[in-house]
Structure 1
Amino acid sequence: MLTERQIRAIKPTEKELTVSDGRSARGEGVLMLRVRPNGTKEFYFQRRKDGRKIKTKLGTWPALSLVDARERCREEKEVQLSSGTFEELLAAYVAKLRTEGAASAEHVAWSFKHYVTEPFPNLMNRPAVLIGPADIRDILAKMIAAGVKTMTNRVRSRLHAAFQQALQQDYNPRNYLEHEVRFGLASNPVSSIPVQEDWEQPGDRALSPVELKTLWQLLPEHLSITTSELLKFLIASGGQRPEQLLRSERHLYQADHLVIRSKKGVEGERSLHVVPINKLMRQSLNEMDAISETSPYPFQGMAEGKPLNVQSLSRAVSKLYGRHKDKFQGAFTLRDLRRTCKTLMGVAGLDKQLRDRIQGHAFNDVSTKHYDRYDYLKEKKRGLDRWAVWLEKHIIHTKK
């Protein structure tokens, strides 16, 4: 192997001189030093392809040291052996989520596009193996500089999961041969990036009955019909997860119940969540049927054949609060409505286990997870009917 002293001692000759830094595994390529007659000494990465020698210039010595040349050579080897790009890595993770039917799939795709691929197009065609912690840091730092907080941690988590998926794809002995693209990762570059812990405080905001009444009365005049009726439906249904509800096609809405494909949890643990339809929920569905009885989704968005976007719904709630701050005790978001329903259903007399079942929470005790196959439909129906009566009395029809 070459040394800095040897390189310094090599004298130019009338003919170009080439010296190898040593042998490497067949097909991986090797670092070469080219000494020109004028004394210039250049580092090249040389490999063979289809019987031809292909050389890539790495730099000129001594501006590029031998140590750095070897590192550049190592990177070139990895690039040649693993051609999967950063963009392909992100796409592969989104495709996996879509195949599994994960509720978060479309939002993950949106967050990658909005915060990674569009702001950093120069990284997209780079081999994933060359994406380092500094690149991930720069992506998240740009978000932080723009005032983005919670989503910064979400994007970090999703990038970590994407790289972890690529590692499993390359090294799982059971199915790695099924994939044509190789990423050649040795580690996860996101692991070195810390989570911003102070931005992960659990929410505790729940609207009071007076605030919920105010929100309900604001809906018809201050938001679109679809958004207003969807929020009413979410409240009347006891605070279902909006992303799951919106992804439920029209055929899942029956005369007396709704079937939601619960897409939280790992593959194999997602299940069907049956929600009885009370009279307030039916009123909202009738309003939407008056707009369209044939759309694929009851709560259709602006795009033909697509449901209302959950991000649009979330922004609508935040903007509504922003326009009427004086009417509420503090800021609230779409996520707080689920907590509000959970809390106020308790006020209405529903016990915690029934509230958990209405909201589709998982029960992880052995008995429930593996043996209890009862659907609790009758109990949930009685609970949601009681909730509707409470809403009518305390939220909808109260005297001003």
Structure 2
Amino acid sequence: MLTEKQIQALKPKDKDYVISDGRTSRGEGVLLIKVRPNGTKEFYFQRHIAGKKKLSKIGVWPAMKLTDARDKSREEKEVKLSPGTFQELLDGYVSKLETEGAASAGDVKWSFKHYVSDAFPALVKRPVSVIGPAEIRNIIARMIGNGVTTYCNRVRSQLHAAFQMGLEQEYNPRNYLETKVRFGLISNPVASVPVQADWEQPGDRALSPEELAYLWQVLPEQLSLVTSELIKFLIASGGQRPEQLLATERRQFLKDHLIIRNKKGRSAEGERSLHVVPYNKLMRQSLKAMDEINSTSTFPFEGKVTGSSLHTNSLSRAVTKLYGRHADKFNGPFTLRDIRRTCKTLMGVAKISKELKDRIQGHAFGDVSSKHYDRYDYFGEKQRGLQSWATWLQKNVITAELK
């Protein structure tokens, strides 16, 4: 066992060297002091994980006394580490979403890479069992420091779901026997990090017909062709969910309709429900424009990466920047999410009933009759409704005179 005098007497050498505080039981780990060539003396806790030595820095002597280092070492011994890293947990959750065909898989993958892996490269290499609330707080705090508001709550939610998956994998007896990666989680550290509630107020912004007309008519001059046609398609289709539309492959765009796998709910049989959206003439025009760019791409609205769809975050930023360049033409700020609400509101102005608006936008009907007995597809009704919507847009938006 080391003493304070022995530590004080340790002399620097040409290279780093370590001295152990004494032997411990196999597998428990050991307290070390590392002496640097410049004379700095650092406390480390060493344990073996999957046959490899892993060092965790505890503190620097003499700012940290030997007794404090031993106390900290005992705390470290109580943490039963598994080899699964933070990055493996994030990758595992993304793979789960992709396997399930979740529309959010692309967004979650981008978020984890942009806000976690790229921002904290050393952190994601650590065993996930040592990731605590402080580390999650630091991830969200950096986002807030960079001016990210509402989306920091989205990332918090995504991280919470990833850790929850790790917990379920750890404690579900069937999964535990099948999985090769062990995370050693005993709690969800994200639960202690509060949601920024003041950034989660329900939205009520809907563009007026005049604002929508300006947005539609300014699009080709201000954004890329793909982004412009995508926004037009979202409007013409009655405000479909962007993340679901962008996750829909070209093979699901058929002759007179497209099929969206509605990830917002499951059918009575447990399957993801299918949302059928008939085309109107404006939707066809946008799809024709995309075919002229590339008629064989996996996704009609392809992004910069070949074989990948335009990303929802890119689309959202484009809409926000567009408003910023033309703020004087609108009655206030608006975002991508407000376009869906705008379509819902103005379809009412176009005399489309609330029930039909809900069906066009793919809302789930929660009454017993709709959930368990009504298997009618309402294709004709939605088709006529979207045709009426296109006629209204043509008159009040597309050919409207801008002031």
The TM-score with structure 2 as length reference comes to 0.83
Are the structure 2 counterparts of residues 300 and 56 from structure 1 closer, same or farther at C-alpha, using a change threshold of 3 Å? closer
**Aligned equivalent of 2:92:** 92
Distance in 1, matches of 2:49 and 2:310, equals 54
Residue 29 in 1 paired to residue 14 in 2? Answer: no
Residue 304 in 1 paired to residue 306 in 2? Answer: yes
Are the structure 2 counterparts of residues 390 and 187 from structure 1 closer, same or farther at C-alpha, using a change threshold of 3 Å? same
Distance in 1, matches of 2:262 and 2:55, equals 54
**Aligned equivalent of 2:393:** 391
**Aligned equivalent of 1:36:** none
**Aligned equivalent of 1:126:** 126
* SS class of match (2:170): helix
Matching of residues 320-331 of structure 1 within 5 Å: 320-331=322-333
**Aligned equivalent of 1:224:** 224
Pick which of 339-348 and 256-265 moved more: 256-265
Deviation at 1:56, TM superposition (A): 10
Distance in 1, matches of 2:391 and 2:197, equals 41
**Aligned equivalent of 2:278:** 276
Distance in 2, matches of 1:173 and 1:48, equals 23
**Aligned equivalent of 1:13:** none
Are the structure 2 counterparts of residues 171 and 49 from structure 1 closer, same or farther at C-alpha, using a change threshold of 3 Å? closer
Residue 352 in 1 paired to residue 351 in 2? Answer: no
Are the structure 2 counterparts of residues 48 and 104 from structure 1 closer, same or farther at C-alpha, using a change threshold of 3 Å? closer
* SS class of match (2:316): helix
Matching of residues 284-295 of structure 1 within 5 Å: 284-295=286-297
Deviation at 1:399, TM superposition (A): 4.4
* SS class of match (1:367): helix
Task: Give 5+ residue unaligned stretches, structure 2.
Answer: 5-19, 33-42
Kindly provide the amino acid, as one letter, of the partner of residue 114 in structure 1: H
Kindly provide the amino acid, as one letter, of the partner of residue 28 in structure 2: G
Distance in 2, matches of 1:55 and 1:336, equals 49
**Aligned equivalent of 1:255:** 255
Identity %: 61
Kindly provide the amino acid, as one letter, of the partner of residue 130 in structure 2: L
Pick which of 56-65 and 372-381 moved more: 56-65
How many residues are paired up?
371
* SS class of match (2:396): helix
Kindly provide the amino acid, as one letter, of the partner of residue 367 in structure 1: S
**Aligned equivalent of 2:77:** 73
Are the structure 2 counterparts of residues 47 and 364 from structure 1 closer, same or farther at C-alpha, using a change threshold of 3 Å? same
Are the structure 2 counterparts of residues 70 and 371 from structure 1 closer, same or farther at C-alpha, using a change threshold of 3 Å? same
Deviation at 1:246, TM superposition (A): 1.9
Deviation at 1:280, TM superposition (A): 1.4
Deviation at 1:201, TM superposition (A): 0.7
Kindly provide the amino acid, as one letter, of the partner of residue 149 in structure 1: T
Select which of 47, 64, 68 maps to 2:68.
64
Indicate if the aligned counterparts of 2:21 and 2:30 stay in contact, CA closer than 8 A. no
Are the structure 2 counterparts of residues 69 and 271 from structure 1 closer, same or farther at C-alpha, using a change threshold of 3 Å? same
Deviation at 1:175, TM superposition (A): 2.1
Q: Who wins on radius of gyration, i.e. which is larger?
A: 1
Indicate if the aligned counterparts of 2:116 and 2:139 stay in contact, CA closer than 8 A. yes
Indicate if the aligned counterparts of 1:32 and 1:46 stay in contact, CA closer than 8 A. no
Indicate if the aligned counterparts of 1:260 and 1:274 stay in contact, CA closer than 8 A. yes
Are the structure 2 counterparts of residues 346 and 68 from structure 1 closer, same or farther at C-alpha, using a change threshold of 3 Å? same
Indicate if the aligned counterparts of 1:45 and 1:58 stay in contact, CA closer than 8 A. no
Distance in 2, matches of 1:371 and 1:70, equals 61
Deviation at 1:69, TM superposition (A): 3.0
Kindly provide the amino acid, as one letter, of the partner of residue 78 in structure 2: R
Distance in 2, matches of 1:49 and 1:250, equals 44
Kindly provide the amino acid, as one letter, of the partner of residue 296 in structure 1: T
Kindly provide the amino acid, as one letter, of the partner of residue 207 in structure 2: L
Residue 246 in 1 paired to residue 246 in 2? Answer: yes
Kindly report structure 1 stretches of 4+ aligned residues shifted beyond 4 Å: 17-21, 30-33, 42-50, 54-61
* SS class of match (1:68): helix
* SS class of match (2:183): coil
**Aligned equivalent of 1:37:** none
Distance in 1, matches of 2:22 and 2:97, equals 50
**Aligned equivalent of 1:206:** 206
Indicate if the aligned counterparts of 2:27 and 2:47 stay in contact, CA closer than 8 A. no
Please, what is the CA RMSD of the aligned residues? Answer: 3.2
Indicate if the aligned counterparts of 1:44 and 1:57 stay in contact, CA closer than 8 A. yes
* SS class of match (1:308): coil
Kindly provide the amino acid, as one letter, of the partner of residue 273 in structure 1: H
Deviation at 1:253, TM superposition (A): 1.7
**Aligned equivalent of 2:339:** 337
Q: Deviations over 1:17-60 (max 9, x none)?
A: 99888x7xxx6537799xxxxxxxx998788999xxx9999899
